[in-house]
Structure 1
């Protein structure tokens, strides 16, 4: 169920991941390539294009899903299911890792993330479904445990800077379908 427009949640931005290359390509049995991650204190988001420096930045095929959100609470659930403590949230390869946000509830709504460095408005689009690589990079069973908890793909509706630390998530109105 989508939150009411005008709802605000205090959240914490734990990680701002910029990844210039894919790491999980091919067959999981072959193992990942070099996992290139840049966990930044601050990122620049460009309207309709994504996060500057990220592998999906400005790619037309990914315009409606240029930025991914992930709730660390989802990974804590996975950790409990697979029996492995302290799973690294960066291995899920989501751009914005938040604590305190009901990420799934943001699907189909417009929302703004306000941080000390600035704010960006997003349209919550489709789920960021996990893949079989989760069983390789985390533990057997992680892929299944992460189903329905893999995060959300979003379109940036405004440009701005975001920073790690305390933030506020403001929920707006429902969004129209993504352009094709």
Structure 2
């Protein structure tokens, strides 16, 4: 992980009031009662994303927001020989970025993860990366057979928001503190 400022793109934002991946993957995902794709999300310090199933959930306070690199899906498509790159919303991560290897932000060997900020035009919102967001067997069902294995080590990172703010789709600045 290299500290500093990078220009990235927020390609997907997801807020979901329910957990769609329950039960057995062979049975398919649970229907989501509300649209999950968002043009913008409201971030609340220590709580998560307003409206999300993990917002203010005690068991997820240090992992309420998930961040994912769109490039990981490019690699899945190449590795599995897919005709198209899967929709980034299918991985069910809250914030999908293009332009930075987000998995490098995660905590390693008992240390805290990186502190970083994202600014999509409404001011910076800081996060502390905590732990990797490991992929699950559902990826073989919703993306393609073999995706679960292809995403190992590239499932994103779970974060805690340190500031209130708003994030929007489009160009953004990512600043990793040194």
Length-normalised TM-score, structure 1: 0.91
CA RMSD of aligned residues (A): 1.1
Separation in structure 2 between the aligned mates of residue 154 and residue 139 of structure 1, nearest angstrom? 27
> Is 1:40 matched with 2:38?
yes
- Residue 110 of structure 2 is matched in structure 1 by none
Quick check: 1:42–1:117 contact (8 Å CA) kept in 2?
no
Q: 1:29 aligns with which of 13, 26, 30?
A: 26
- Residue 177 of structure 1 is matched in structure 2 by none
Note the 1:98-117 alignment, pairs <5 A: 98-107=97-106, 108-117=113-122
- Residue 12 of structure 1 is matched in structure 2 by 9
The structure richer in strand per residue is 1
Quick check: 2:68–2:103 contact (8 Å CA) kept in 1?
no
Where does the alignment leave 5 or more consecutive residues of structure 2 unmatched? 107-112
1:130-166 deviation digits (Å, cap 9, x = unpaired): 0000000111100000000100000001111111111
> Is 1:139 matched with 2:144?
yes
Separation in structure 2 between the aligned mates of residue 28 and residue 59 of structure 1, nearest angstrom? 25
1:37 offset after TM fit, Å?
A: 4.4
> Is 1:76 matched with 2:74?
yes
Separation in structure 2 between the aligned mates of residue 37 and residue 76 of structure 1, nearest angstrom? 24
Separation in structure 2 between the aligned mates of residue 111 and residue 86 of structure 1, nearest angstrom? 27
Separation in structure 2 between the aligned mates of residue 62 and residue 29 of structure 1, nearest angstrom? 27
Separation in structure 2 between the aligned mates of residue 62 and residue 46 of structure 1, nearest angstrom? 14
Count of aligned pairs between the two proteins:
170
1:115 offset after TM fit, Å?
A: 0.9
1:48 match: secondary structure: coil
Separation in structure 2 between the aligned mates of residue 144 and residue 8 of structure 1, nearest angstrom? 31
Where does the alignment leave 5 or more consecutive residues of structure 1 unmatched? 174-180
Runs of 4+ aligned residues of structure 1 deviating over 2 Å after TM superposition are none
Q: 1:159 aligns with which of 137, 151, 164?
A: 164
Note the 1:167-178 alignment, pairs <5 A: 167-173=172-178
Length-normalised TM-score, structure 2: 0.92
